[in-house]
Structure 1
Amino acid sequence: MSKFHYYGGLEGGATQSKFVLYRSDGQILAWSKGECTNQWLIGQDECCKRIHKMVETAKQTAKLPADTRLKALGLSMSGADEEESQKQLIAQIKSQYGGDCEEVYIASDTWGALFTATPAGGIVLIAGTGSNCQLINPDNTSKRCGGWGHLLGDEGSAYWITQLALKTLFDHDDNLNICPNSVEKVRDIMKDYFKISDKVGMLDHMYSKFDKSNVAGMCKHLAKGAEDGDQLCQHVFKEAGKVLARHIVAVEPAIAQSLLEGEGGLHVVTVGSVWKSWQFLKPGFLEVLTAERPGRRIREVTLQRLKQAASVGAASLGARAVGFKLPLDYSANAEIFFHGKM
């Protein structure tokens, strides 16, 4: 019998998923990929089936016996915030695919991202197509701000930045709110990206043919405009930096004191393509975070980006759930791109 135990971790997204298989000495044995595992989009049965397939593929790649059971399976998944649905998913995995693992642990996608970068806790701040902020304290208490979708949230996201740029253009042309900067670069980006001849063409894209991801895709072209020196493009990213920092301020009262006093101060794990434009987010971000406010507690912050998939953190969480500390090299999993005292 092998002296090792095995642990699995899944980063489950609304588009694709990634699974990692660990040996108990911290060695990665295999990776596998799969499709969407958001149960609200594909149903619980299909979700469980896809998870099982990735586990099986990873075991085959690692050349483990087919009957090998993982000590724990950690799932960090989009659409896995609600406790009752977590219980149902765990019960179904154990019932239908009990040969895969002994125990199952489920958390939302933000948890896997955070515990890939640090074992202690901190904040995950997502700014991709959408946005979300999640504080997780060392005792597993948590506080969330955002993540409510493009109609009720998503501030600071790629969609939000695009929408702000477009709204600024429309309002300027309508003489409703005159923009102090030229809107012509944004106009050109809009026409080129959406393949339209004028603003009227945007109505299809924002209403009858609306696709949030497609609209958000214009953001990378706005980022290029900012790099080229366009002031309006730079302005919308600065505004995004402000509102992303406000997410942190929103959860500030609930932050455990130990997270503020450790080396590097408060650690924020950033996820999403918007953070690639940090140089343009930074002025607004620091303006908000350094401003004096009632109850201000944050005086030092470290921003990190992942170098490894959030599956790693999911595996660690699964192992912790059964009382085992999976040895991870956190310095290899994430890198610091900003540190400041304020």
Structure 2
Amino acid sequence: MGSAGGDDQAFYGGLEGGATHSKMVVMNGKGAIIAWSEGPSTNHWLIGVEECMRRIHSMAEDVKKKANIDVKKPFKSMGLSLSGGEQEEGQRRLIEGMQSAFPEVSEAYHMCTDTFGAIATACEKGGIVLISGTGSNCQLVNPDGSIYGCGGWGHMLGDEGSGYWIAHQAIKTAFDAEDNLVKPPHDVSYVKDAMFTYFGVTKRYGMLDHLYSQFDKTKFAAFCVKLAEGAQAKDPLCTWLFHEAGILLGRHILAVAPNMDKVTLGCPGGLQVVCVGSVWKSWEAMKQGFLEGLKPRDADDLEIKRFTLLNLVQSPAVGAARLGAEKVQINLPMDIKANVNVFYTHPE
């Protein structure tokens, strides 16, 4: 256990590092946010360890200037919550590199995957991060730091319930119906028209470029926005697609549930699920499917009687700073409730 709060003269840094964008915060020992800085990707798998270090150093200098802190005065600790930050060898190389090349940035470091930062921002005693954006992924983090996952294998093997998955299912359903290979569950007219308009084609053959030679996963997944509009307008096929996505997202939680700590299940409001990604904007269309997907399939599955779905209104950089401070035996005071928006509780 660390001490509550810290030295007024000590400062604690936290970094939310994504594949495209990064955000750094500096906090004081009372848990107050002093300043922010922003920067490009800090995923060391994409840009290399050396470039990642330079970018962290640059953001640290910037945030210290904004906080009126001497740029040569190291933070007491720095939490690095990075996309791709789970591998131990990568953690060692980056932390040792920072301590050697840029000792003025921080005295101590704690590095983890971006999931840990999100959980530390939103939950007191562990929880689940369930991502449904371009792709999908589910990770359980217990209070002792143990982590268990389901999914995250990319569009060739996984991404179930994601924007990509919904878009792919919609297009395949339209193609299969036209080929008379599989009878569609509902009329495909809306999906077919939306597909032609979105991708700028007039015939199905025009889709081949978008599916193969010019495949762009992000653009492909963004077709889900048009399908969400269809679901909102009560198009039966679009409504069905989001219901099916909800089932699969619920099953992600069911998959990791056997590894949950009883403390995590016993939080006020039950299991805390941090929902990340734009597909969650269509929660109402997914709700019944999600609840169906959470139902135990057999005696081996755990029945989750109480849970809360929430999304972040604060950057995971704050949670990263909290984890970094714990590394030096300091418990930064934090108003967890102010960091989240609860959009569903079960039972209602």
TM range (shorter): over 0.9
Which amino acid in 2 is paired with 1:231? P
Q: CA deviation at 1:156?
A: 1.0
> What are the equivalent positions in structure 2 for 1:59-74 lying under 5 Å apart?
59-74=64-79
Q: In structure 2, which of residues 18, 22, 25 is the aligned counterpart of residue 20 of structure 1?
A: 25
Distance 1:305 1:293 in 2: 30
The 8 Å contact of residues 159 and 215 in structure 1, kept in 2 or not, is answered as yes
2:221 corresponds to 1:216: yes
Per-residue deviation, 1:274: 0.6
Q: In the TM superposition, what whole-angstrom CA distance separates every residue of 1:196-227 from its partner, at most 9, and x where no partner exists?
A: 11221211111111111111111111111110
Deviation readout 1:121-162 (Å, 9 max, x if unpaired): 011101111111110111111111111111121111111111
Partner of 2:94: 89
d(CA) in 1 for partners of 2:52, 2:199: 34
Q: Which residue of 1 aligns with 2:4?
A: none
For the residues of structure 1 that align with 2:204 and 2:113, how far apart are their CA atoms?
39
Give per-residue Cα distances to partners, 1:269-298, cap 9 Å, x unaligned.
Answer: 111101010001111000121346314231
Counterparts of 2:194 and 2:14, CA distance in 1: 40
Q: Distance in 1 between matches of 2:337 and 2:121?
A: 10
3-state secondary structure, aligned to 2:155:
helix
Alignment correspondent of 1:154: 159
Q: 1:35 matched to which residue of 2? A: 40
| Counterpart secondary structure, 1:182 | coil
Task: Supply the distance in 2 between the matched residues of 1:341 and 1:67 (Cα, whole angstroms).
Answer: 52
Return the offset for 1:4: 2.4
Q: In structure 1, what is the Cα distance between the partners aligned to 2:234 and 2:303?
A: 35
Asked whether the 8 Å contact 2:125–2:263 carries over to 1, the reply is no
2:176 partner SS = helix
Matched residue type, 1:30: A
**1:130 aligned partner:** 135
Q: What is the Cα deviation at residue 261 of structure 1?
A: 2.0
Q: 1:305 aligns with which of 308, 311, 315?
A: 311
Question: 1:260 maps to what in 2?
Answer: 265
CA distance in 1, matches of 2:319, 2:136: 20
How much has 1:262 moved relative to structure 2?
2.4
Q: Which residue number corresponds to residue 63 of structure 2? A: 58
8 Å CA contact retained: 1:69, 1:102: yes
Partner deviation per Cα, 1:251-271 (whole Å, 9 max, x = no partner): 011001111122111110111
Aligned to 2:188: 183
SS at match of 2:191: helix
The answer for unaligned runs of 5 or more in structure 2 is 1-6
Shift of 1:97: 1.1
Q: Size of the alignment, in residue pairs?
A: 341
| Alignment check: 8 A CA contact 2:295 2:303 kept | no
Report the TM-score, using the length of structure 2 for normalisation.
Answer: 0.95
Q: Which amino acid aligns with 2:240?
A: H
Of 274, 295, 301, which residue of structure 2 is paired with 1:290?
Answer: 295
Q: Is the 8 A contact 1:129 1:213 kept in 2?
A: yes
CA RMSD of aligned residues (A): 1.3
Match for 1:169: what amino acid?
A
Matched, 1:7 2:12: yes
Conserved 8 A contact 2:82-2:112 = yes
Q: Is the 8 A contact 1:128 1:158 kept in 2?
A: yes
Asked if structure 2 preserves the Cα contact closer than 8 Å seen for 1:132 and 1:154, the reply is yes
How far, CA to CA, are the matches of 1:156 and 1:4 in structure 2? Answer: 47
Letter in 2 for 1:229: K
Q: CA deviation at 1:3?
A: 3.3
Give, in angstroms, the shift of residue 341 of structure 1.
Answer: 3.1
- Give unpaired runs (5+ residues) of structure 1: none
1:194 equivalent in structure 2? 199
Deviation at 1:66, TM superposition (A): 1.8
- CA contact under 8 A between 2:71 and 2:104: conserved in structure 1? no
With the length of structure 1 as denominator, give the TM-score of the two structures.
0.97
CA distance in 1, matches of 2:8, 2:289: 53
SS of residue paired to 2:31: coil
Q: Which residue of 1 aligns with 2:320?
A: 314
The alignment-based identity, stated in percent, is 49
The equivalent of 1:112 in structure 2 is 117
Q: Give distance in 1, aligned partners of 2:279 and 2:66.
A: 34
